[in-house]
Structure formats: structure tokens, C-alpha cells
A and B are shown apart, each in its own frame.
Chain A
């Protein structure tokens, strides 16, 4: 399955709020650690290196339409 960059969250505002809530009260260092753990957990869940590579490209260069 290719990387999905179309809207895919029916409750986008809630998801965004969950993200912020998870970081509430954390120091910068704790937040960075949380983000790293989150990336690893999601990467494992996706479980497809080519999708992850596309996601990394899209994250590194959001303006590149070739992704």
C-alpha cells in the first residue's frame, strides 16, 4: 500500500488534541523521548519499509510533489 497523503482522519481535531495532551507537562527532553518512542511504535505498526521511506521523504521535504 502506498503512503497515504490524503485526509484519512475523520476526527482530525481530536487526534491533534491527543497529540498535544500527551506532551502536556513534559520537559523538552521528555517530549523528544516521547516523540521518538511514538515514531518507533508507529513505524513498527506500519511495518512496511517502502511506506516508511516515503513518509520520511515527505517529512523531510514537505514541498516535494514527487513523494
Chain B
């Protein structure tokens, strides 16, 4: 076997920083080269901020792990410059089937809303996701962008100072000290940095074990998501079958609480289970097996002085609904532009507290959704199982019960209602989905898609309204993107951004969330909204 996740992609090399006295100082050091660390580094480096990623390993994730990437993260990856290869490689699906006992109780078609460049989500192994990010980082590095990956660098100690952080890093050549103006901890759910700093990680542990297996098979199963409640091959438990690229299928089997994990992981125990599920005649090969338990928890705060936590290190959810990596990418997106403005001296440090406010809000939403899915899939009491089974029985015959079936709710971005960075909605009759705090929905523009025009700087989006081509305020330039909503076939744009309003002006943040909107351009209000969006008001 020579799988991508067995190949060192950023092997250790000796760096001059290891011999520097006094220690070298870097702008931003990111701990962890997983999806969130890599995305954060790429985002910062593209914005001209020096980003050094350290990781004790030198390979991408072992096994598929995160496999569903939703539309919003794909849109973020487009801005980072690596959305297309992921979508090209990924598997798209729309049909899901739900089975209960031996019956198919219903099937659904996601029928995603039209007029978006990106699909509702793709299935892609985490190792490919990371590989594309590493490739993108290498590409940027070759272009002279300030990004660097240091494999074989394990953080042993962290010390906070008023204006920087000192790291003690172990390497194959021995330890060295490295200073960082800012440290971003993307070191996963077990975050060693969080432990070194003695910070808590509170929440709920679900008393259940799941076996996840990646199997390679040439089966004629359709490209659909199949979910079983209480199937004959896994009595009293649940099961999931999902397709990934390269003929790899993800199989999740709920095992219950009182099991011997090491025993259950052995191929001689896994293979008979899978044969029972897939049928004796199906030929398959095991690529990866793991057993995990669910936890839903988060740190109380994600920012601790000059150390900022992002992704699983800050919050952990159960896998149902694919809210782990997807929310981590959104953490990175929320943090990148704020940190750049702070580092460049344009915004006050307090802007970073809005990262905390907004992403804690998102984490709570994700934890709520994933806890509810878990409660449905693995009922915790007799009566919750009675209700769960009643929903499934009814769903077979009545439409009304189908929305109650919860085998995971699709990851959607958080609307940052009440964010300190946005004020009241000055276009209250406008569509609710584009109110202040909301992520901008995509829309076709004839020659492409709206989000491509928004980029990753402040934008003044005008729809049938006049405004200057650019407005400079407090060191930030908001560039105008002018659209004529009456031109051509822009029904989706009108529907998503105007509703019944004849015209509108939107101030859009670099992470493509709406900061403010008005029925017409007003210079004083726009200036105030920019100041507020960078933490000055």
C-alpha cells in the first residue's frame, strides 16, 4: 500500500530559527496542520501576514475522518484558491434513504436550491482535503507568499507575555525556542496546547461507541446516503453507508457502550459484521478502521490573550451533520481578516473578541444540532426510544413525520444575529436570509457568480443604488460592486438581496458576512458601519 496518508508531505528539515539567539519572532504561529490550521495559514499568508505552521507529524490525516464538506466551506476554499480541485475530486449526492428494521421507511432528495456555484456538499476524505490544502500552501510558498510548514515540530511548552507568546518546540535535532506575536491553536479535540494552558473543555460525553470503517469495494450501490435504524445486521443500533471518491465507502456502525474497543477493531471481528451488512457476495478490502465516542463540548472562551483556539481544539461535536471540519473552516475564515487588521494596526485588539463572540455562537448552534441528532439516533431512555420508533413508523406512511427523522442535519453557516460588529437592520423589509450577520448567499450573475465578485475585502454591494466606487474609512477601503438588479436574468439575486425592496446597499465583510444594509447609500451611516465592523465603535 502506498496511500496518500502514508506519504510524508512536509518532512522535517532543520530551520535556521532553531539556531537563532535570541529566539526568532514570527507574526503568526499555527499549531496543527489539519484542515483548520492549513486553511488559517493560507488565508493569512494570502493577505500578506506571515504564517508558520508547526506540526509534530508530517503527513495528512490517517484514514478518512471528516468526509462531508458543505457549501459554505467550499465557498471559503474558493477564496483560498483550492475549492475547484476539491469539488472535482469529491462525490456529490442528493438521494438519501432511511431504513428501519428491515423496511425502507422513506427516501428523500435534497434538491438543493439552484443558483449557487457550489453544491450543498461533497463527500471527500479528509486526507484529500488536507492534501489539496498542502498543495495550495506549497504553491503560495513558491510564489513568495509568507507561509511555511514545519513537520516534526512538537510544541512542548507555551508561555504567554503581554505582546507575544514563547514556544518550546522539540524536533529530531533537539528543542528550540520560537516567539510568535500571535499563536493559533488548531491542534485538535485533544489539544495539547489547551492542556498546557490548563484551560477547561466542558460538555457532554455520549455513552456510546461507533465503529467507522473505510472499505474499498467495487459494488453497484448507488451514490446515495443510506441510514439504518435498528437493522437486522446491527440489532438495536444504527448504521450508515456513504460513498467517497476512489470506490471507498464509509461505514459507521453503532456498537453500544459496554464493548472491548481493541477486540472490536480487529479485522476478524470487523469483517463478519461488514459481510452481514453488505452481503456475502460483495468483495471488499478494509482501508481503515477506528472506534470513537461522541462528545459535545467547547471551551468557555476561544481567545486567551495572544493565543486563539480554532476548530476542534475549541469545540467538539458528534459527527452527525458534519459540523466538525466544516465549522473549523468557518472559524479560520472569521479569524483571518480580523487578525490581519489587528496586526496591521488598523483595528484594535478588541476586534478579536468578536471572533470569540461569533464563533462561540456558531459552536453552540452546532453543538445543539449535533446533540439533537445524537439523541435521536442513540435514544438515551426507554421513552426516547419509544418516541423515536414512533416517528420512524409514522414516517413510512405520513409525510408529516419525515422532518422529525434526524439522522444528522446538514451543516449550514451561522447567522451572527446580535454581533457586536453589526447594528440594526436598516432594510427590515429585505430578505431575512441576508440580514446583518448573515453569510452572503451566492447568486448567478450571467457571467459567473456573485461570491466571486465579493472577494475577501470589504465591499459595498449596490443593487440599483448609486454610491462612490470606493469609500475609505479608518484605514479600510470598501470597494463598490455595482449590480443592476433589473438586468438580464437576475431573479435569484433580487430574491436573495432585495425581496420587495426596490434598491439596496450592502456593506459586506471580508468573510462575506453582511455587516449592514440600507435602502440607499448614506455616507455617514456607511462610515459608522465600517468603524463598527472593525471594532472601533
A residues with a Cβ closer than 8 A to B are 32-33, 36-37, 39-41, 44
Contact = CB atoms under 8 A, between A and B. Distances in A.
Nearest to B393: A37
B387 interface: yes
A44 B398 CA distance: 11
Nearest to B399: A44
15 contacts: A32-B386, A33-B390, A33-B393, A36-B386, A36-B387, A36-B389, A36-B390, A37-B390, A37-B393, A39-B390, A40-B394, A40-B401, A41-B394, A41-B398, A44-B400
Contacts of A37: 390, 393-394
A40 B391 contact: yes
A36 to B, nearest CB: 4
Contacts of B387: 36, 39-40
B369 to A, nearest CB: 17
A33 B386 CA distance: 6
Nearest to A32: B386
A33 B401 contact: no
A44 B383 CA distance: 19
Interface in B269-297: none
Contacts of A33: 386, 389-390, 393
Contacts of B383: 32
A33 B389 CA distance: 8
A27 to B, nearest CB: 13
Contacts of A44: 400-401
Contacts of B477: none
Interface in B391-435: 391, 393-394, 398, 400-401, 404
B393 to A, nearest CB: 7
A39 to B, nearest CB: 8
Nearest to A37: B390
From A33, A36, A44, residue with most partner B Cβ within 10 Å: A36
Contacts of A40: 387, 390-391, 394, 401, 404
